Structure 1
């Protein structure tokens, strides 16, 4: 085992450090832990020197000579300090200060040399003193051996496997190579690509990834290995790192699941909630989770947080006490900075943790250690929290297993649903295809049935025609012996031809009459503005056009029938004298004549049927016109009834106004009339003045007071004009004391004339008609006012 000094490239065998001389019983002063580094270690030869090489013996002799010189210098410094104390000098020179400092360093060096030599005894009997010394700091040159002794990494079987592990290849090599440049990039030992520090760091990380394939390589572990390599060779650093991973819970921290890190965060959150509840509440309100700032504390043991001197002090205590120091230091940092953190938001706190907190204790790491051991830490409570976390995690694991099972079932069900949906879609397509096929077959069957029905109907009609022809043949055979029937038949055909011509002439005359009537009606329609008459005439015009079309069609058919009859008649005439021929030809001619008569009767029946249909259409048209007329009459009746109600209400209101005006007039006359002074002699009373009736041209009518608003009198128009002018009473200017109000009542004869005019003017009501506020229709300037 060797000890590496970063200040000097010298390596000392560990066996020499184990046999350091016990010079004197050192006295541990309170300030002895403030110095951490010595210039060079002193070693004395041991009984094992016989096994050493000549070069090593020469080196030991030189070291022993240097040890004697240092010992003589320390004795002279002690005597000088004693003489100065005895003289009672009140001043302390700079040489005495340096002498005291070297004395303390020598005492610390001697003390830790004894601890290294007597490690088992100190570990068993002086554990508390050892703990205090470690808390005050391990000297720099003793850290390598003391760290190995603390973790019992001096004799490990894995050390012999190190060289073999380096020859093997690891699956994590690329990842390790990528992260090596990020480990202590500012330190001289690791600065520069492919430097010695980076190479030995790669070797140690690669060897451990092969030893523990479950953990492999984790990024934060490189900082711990880098710190070990700063103090000792790579083989010893590898052994110490393996022991740390196995015995200090670091392996659980660096596992892929990081279950131990979750436990540490859970315990730290509980301590934070218990000891700093306000700060914990502030963190929660800002969504500043503990893992955002404390994860690196547990994974790198503050090596990425503090500078190396402060982080090394924390690592000293960690080597002896474990992860407890991480909880204490983390909570101490939060206690010191609670006031500042309470005033920051989430981003500000992140910046504060990265820039301010790491450099608060650069000059006084002892203050940080003191604050850390003022934090309350209960191991029993931590054990209880560990059990709670384990129970919670087991429950979460069960829930995750259940969720995973449910997700698997859900995925299988989704696959099943997709399969069923595909099958359903295929079945739906088949069903739709079957329905379409059945619909096509049903349509084809329907078409075939219709064709079959038509064929059956044709067959039945052909059978009937055949029966009729047979009956006709029998009748003709019976009438064959009577030659007189042919002449009667010809006379009958002539009569029918004349009648057909007469009907054609009548039809053409009726058509011309209808056309003239249509033209007349169109002229009248264009000259008459009445909307109702126009509508009625339009309906009649439509009906006439329909009838005209039907008449034209009938005339055309009659022309065709007449043409056929004429052709038949000409053919018959061309066969004149046929009765003189043979009897067989006569029978055939008679049959043809009979067939012609049947056709003529058929044509006559068709003409009569068309006439009847035309009559039916005409009757339906008239019925439609009458219905429209009845609807208009009903609408006009309802409007007139509404108008009558409105006029009755208006008349009632006017009567009320008249009575009120008369009462006010009487009151006004009583107030205005002066009382005559008393006279000595009697005087005849003045005759009472009667109201003057209005002249007839002002709406006075028969002398009665009208109710304002008659239909034909001028008072109605005057009242309406006064109402438009703003007169509230509607009767013109207010009369004088002896004049009646200008209210006009509707005369009974005027009302009768209005009702008569309403019947006549209902059809003339056109687009200019307006409705008043109560549904009253008002016409234009020339109509009667409403």
Structure 2
């Protein structure tokens, strides 16, 4: 009866050990799953960082800026061509008016003509002086700009920046030429005023050419309207230029904002990576703690095995049997020694807790050992079969007890 109770206790102990092994395996599986999820999150964060870096290195923004500058340069060239054409047309009309004025007859009132001529010369001198001053200012600006272009100093920059710089330089040159054209237009307008004065003098003096004067007046009105149209176009071009500059500034600000957002996203991803690494380290430490708990539990099992060995020695008694006492194919007459037990925790884990206890308490014959190895093999295939293995291991002992 005492032996039967001991066997029942051993079966219960092995069943508990199997359940505890199953729980430990489940905890290890959970820790592995956490580690794998942390590694996946880390890979996703790294891929996101690479995408952000690629977006930061994308040269598309620079290409858009260069294309915008090229478009603005083409528009400036078109405006310059239109202004030059209008200036040529005005020069032709001024020459025609001068020819017609020279063909008019002289007036008898020479004194009045001389006074009017003096006043006209004074106004003409003032206009010429202002025009010369404007030309000098434009010449100084042009010389300064040419000196700036001659300095250069951009050979160390990248080719893309060199192209952008050349476009900007060409744009500035076009604007200077446009200012010169405006100065010439002002000079021509002054000449038109002078012609209007001459026309007024000849209108007072030449009543007989009223019809011809009306035609000249209509032409002058046409020139004034055309000049007004040119001024309107010039103001429109300036407005468009201001809008383009504002748009370029807005684009630069948008690019800077996107860069700031990208930097913030990169910092957030780095923080997330650090958190994931901390979680992975915590999972690793938790696995080590679980492993240390299982080692302590194995040491406790070894102590229990020693106690069971002592009880077996007491049950055997001092005189050995001549024939081994067979109990359901298990030999209890074999001597238990220290070599039959595993020498370390790793060996005990390697052979399985149930198998170690079985080999230590009840040494088996080769036939029984093959039987138990067939029972233990399915337990290595799946973690959830520990309970069924414990029941199959306990079956021979329950049959022995029934016998």
TM-score of the aligned structures, taking structure 2 as reference length = 0.30
Larger relative contact order, structure 1 or 2 (CA cutoff 8 Å, min sep 6)? 2
Which is richer in helix?
2
TM-score of the aligned structures, taking structure 1 as reference length = 0.17
Higher-Rg structure is 1
